Amino acid sequence: MSGTDIAAPALPPIIAVFNHKGGVAKTTTAANLATCLAAFGLKVVLIDLDAQGNATAGFGVLPLPAVGSYDVLLGNSEIEPVLAASGFPGLSLLPATTDLRLAELQLATDEHSHLQLRKSLTEHHLSRWADIAVIDCPPSLGMVTANALTAASHVVIPARPDPYTHEGLVNTWHEIKRLKETVNSRLTVAGILLTMVTGDATETDVARTMRAEFGDMVYKVMVETDPKVVEAAQAGVPVVVLDPDGGSGRAYVAATLELLTRLAAGQPLPDGFNQDSVLNTLRDWRARLPALQRRPTESEAWAAVPKAWDDAEPHDDWTPERLTPAEPARKFTMGWLAGAFLAGLALGAGLALTIAG
């Protein structure tokens, strides 16, 4: 991989959710952060880069569509034709397709192929669709992950506080550092989120050790193990909507606020960016769930989504206009986020990779 490092001012903040280990709640974290960001009134695109398609399926998009992030990644499609509605205002999906399995081999042939996703998202104007994007990464250090981390401005690392976590984190950290030094100097670690915490004694020890080693890099909030997460995945909705006031729902709301605070790099968050406001929106979505839950439009290339709620109300048809935040009062958010993001870049060293070196 050569030392090409192109500036990407045309891109919105892009948060890659990455840990090279599987089963650490990457997908759950990506989906719930993206949903909370939308509940704050932001336009959000969740990019599913894992061929398993769990983030896509987690919004009821099953079977996986015929076109999606793979086509954008390889430069074969613009963003708009493959964008799928999540059902929730402001949040759209760049869905996974089974073709993503082929991407590793296809990308391995070209020296500059780690730049492919960043190039496509820039050329195809991701910023028209997103104030902020979240990428669900696969559990590997291959070319798809390299593309995600080359396109990203920030990376959030979910980690379980188990005794094997340390080695996984070190590998993850080295990969991030390598990409930051070679191809993406703007990449900033926006924190380590402890997930699936059961609270047993060993875990508590590991969590304490991680906080001692990584300091403020570890989020104050931890996401506890919560059966509602699995229930939500089965129902095809994120847990922050299914159970906004439950343990994991509230934890993901708090984690999103911590993420935004890190992105703002010292600037205060705008009015309305607080726990109560986002919880109210999520409760409202919960109350309207049968109507909000996404269903395929006629033009979409996949079969009917199984209905999770029998008492479904008539579906409120989804249109691209509705990707715009519903509340005009929040229109300032894009300008704020862009400003905060630039400030974050300027102050990036503070949050950047200070530990691995």
How far apart are alpha carbons 170 and 283 in whole angstroms? Answer: 38
Task: Write down the least CB distance from residue 27 to Mg ion, Å.
Answer: 3
- Could you write out the three-class secondary structure of 134-180? EEECCCCCCHHHHHHHHHCCEEEEEECCCCCHHHHHHHHHHHHHHHH
Q: Which residues bind ligand ADP (CB under 6 A)?
A: 22-28, 54, 139, 195-196, 223, 225-226, 229-230, 233, 248
Residue 268 interacts with, from Mg ion, ligand ADP, none (CB under 5-8 Å by kind): none
Determine the residue type at 118: R
Task: Write down the least CB distance from residue 58 to ligand ADP, Å.
Answer: 8
How far apart are alpha carbons 235 and 293 in whole angstroms? Answer: 10
Minimum CB distance to ligand ADP smaller for 9 or for 23:
23
Instruction: Answer whether 236's CB lies under 8 Å from 62's CB.
Output: yes
Minimum CB distance to ligand ADP smaller for 91 or for 156:
156
Minimum CB distance to Mg ion smaller for 26 or for 154:
26
Q: Which residues, at least 6 apart from 299, have a Cβ–Cβ distance to it below 8 Å?
A: none
Minimum CB distance to Mg ion smaller for 54 or for 209:
54
Task: Write down the least CB distance from residue 99 to ligand ADP, Å.
Answer: 19
Residue 39 interacts with, from Mg ion, ligand ADP, none (CB under 5-8 Å by kind): none
Residue 238 interacts with, from ligand ADP, Mg ion, none (CB under 5-8 Å by kind): none
Task: Write down the least CB distance from residue 158 to Mg ion, Å.
Answer: 10
Torsion of CA 182, 25, 132, 207, to 10 degrees: -70
Longest dimension (CA), the chain: 56
How far apart are alpha carbons 227 and 345 in whole angstroms? Answer: 38
Task: Write down the least CB distance from residue 335 to ligand ADP, Å.
Answer: 33
Residue 230 interacts with, from ligand ADP, Mg ion, none (CB under 5-8 Å by kind): ligand ADP
Task: Write down the least CB distance from residue 158 to ligand ADP, Å.
Answer: 7
Minimum CB distance to ligand ADP smaller for 20 or for 186:
20
Residue 17's SS3 state is: strand
How far apart are alpha carbons 59 and 88 in whole angstroms? Answer: 9
Minimum CB distance to ligand ADP smaller for 28 or for 86:
28
Q: Which residues, at least 6 apart from 208, have a Cβ–Cβ distance to it below 8 Å?
A: none
Minimum CB distance to Mg ion smaller for 54 or for 185:
54
> CA angle, 29 as apex, 230 and 285 as ends, to 5°?
70
> Which of 26, 254, 53, 226 is closest to 134 using CA atoms?
26
Task: Write down the least CB distance from residue 49 to Mg ion, Å.
Answer: 10
Other Cβ atoms less than 10 A from the Cβ of 140: the count is 14
Q: Which residues bind Mg ion (CB under 5 A)?
A: 26-27, 50, 54
Task: Write down the least CB distance from residue 20 to Mg ion, Å.
Answer: 12
Residue 193 interacts with, from Mg ion, ligand ADP, none (CB under 5-8 Å by kind): none
Task: Write down the least CB distance from residue 320 to ligand ADP, Å.
Answer: 28
How far apart are alpha carbons 102 and 76 in whole angstroms? Answer: 14
How far apart are alpha carbons 70 and 59 in whole angstroms? Answer: 18
How far apart are alpha carbons 2 and 138 in whole angstroms? Answer: 23
